[in-house]
Amino acid sequence: MEIKVNYLDNLRLEAKFDDFTVISDQPIRYKGDGSAPWPV
């Protein structure tokens, strides 16, 4: 499976694989916006 990862604004990431797109973000305490689930 191939996963393509794009860096969005601040610390948000977009991972695309098959027909899925997953957005992740770091929590505010780690300098993220807390706008999406933590990638860990």
The three-state secondary structure class of 28 is helix
Report the pLDDT value the prediction gives residue 13, as an integer from 0 to 100: 96
Q: Containing domain of residue 5, as a range?
A: 1-39
Strand bridging mode 4-7 / 20-24: unpaired
Domain count, the chain: 1
Q: What is the pLDDT of residues 1-40, one digit of tens each?
A: 999 999 999 999 999 999 999 999 999 999 999 999 998 8
Q: Within 13 Å of residue 35, how many CA atoms lie on the same side as its CB? A: 12
Report the pLDDT value the prediction gives residue 40, as an integer from 0 to 100: 81
Report the pLDDT value the prediction gives residue 29, as an integer from 0 to 100: 96
The three-state secondary structure class of 30 is helix
pTM: predicted TM-score of the whole model, two decimal places: 0.78
